[in-house]
């Protein structure tokens, strides 16, 4: 049962008691946290440990619990590599996964991100895959404009 990032039912119950209600996924916060992890320049083979009270989880406009929950979502989604056995009050991780790098590379540009979120705003909730496809299409359009070549 569960993959490399599976969390025991006991950990889920414990975390839900600490966090209270689950939050709605906020893609701006997802992008910010992925960029923060990438900016750490984590050496190969290193394992980092963040306590939930770490400054890393201070993101302007968001409370700490929301940032922590989104970090956990990124681990669960396979965007951040983490050992299977997580601590109850801390996160162990080794950096971005291939999928995490692919996602952040597609939405890194503030212009691409802005146009992607604007395009999807009127649609309502969209899945990650659709958001990624829209971002790639926008990136391709911008690259084509800058190069003056059809792509």
pLDDT digits (tens, 9 = 90+) for 62-83: 998 899 899 988 988 899 998 7
* Beta bridge mates, 81: 95
Q: Render pLDDT for 91-123 as a digit per residue (tens, 0 to 9).
A: 788 899 999 999 999 999 999 999 888 888 877
Read off the pTM: 0.77
Is 66:105 a contact under the CB 8 Å cutoff? Answer: no
Contacts 24+ apart (CB under 8 A), 60-69: 62/26, 62/29, 65/18, 65/19, 65/20, 65/23, 66/23, 66/26, 66/29, 67/29, 67/33, 68/19, 69/19, 69/22, 69/23
């Amino acid at each position: 049962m569960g993959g490399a990032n599976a969390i025991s039912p006991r950990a889920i119950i414990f975390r839900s008691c600490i966090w209270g209600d689950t939050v709605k996924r906020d893609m701006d916060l997802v992008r910010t946290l992925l960029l923060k992890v990438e900016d750490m320049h984590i050496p190969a083979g290193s394992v980092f440990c963040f306590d939930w009270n770490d400054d890393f989880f201070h993101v302007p406009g968001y409370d700490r619990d929301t940032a922590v929950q989104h970090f956990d979502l990124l681990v669960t989604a396979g965007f951040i590599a983490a050992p299977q056995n997580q601590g109850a009050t801390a996160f162990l991780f080794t950096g971005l996964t291939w999928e995490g790098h692919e996602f952040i590379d597609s939405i890194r540009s503030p212009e691409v991100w802005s146009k992607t979120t604007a395009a999807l705003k009127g649609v309502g909730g969209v899945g990650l895959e659709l958001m990624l496809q829209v971002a790639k299409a926008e990136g391709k359009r911008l690259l084509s404009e800058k190069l003056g070549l059809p792509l």
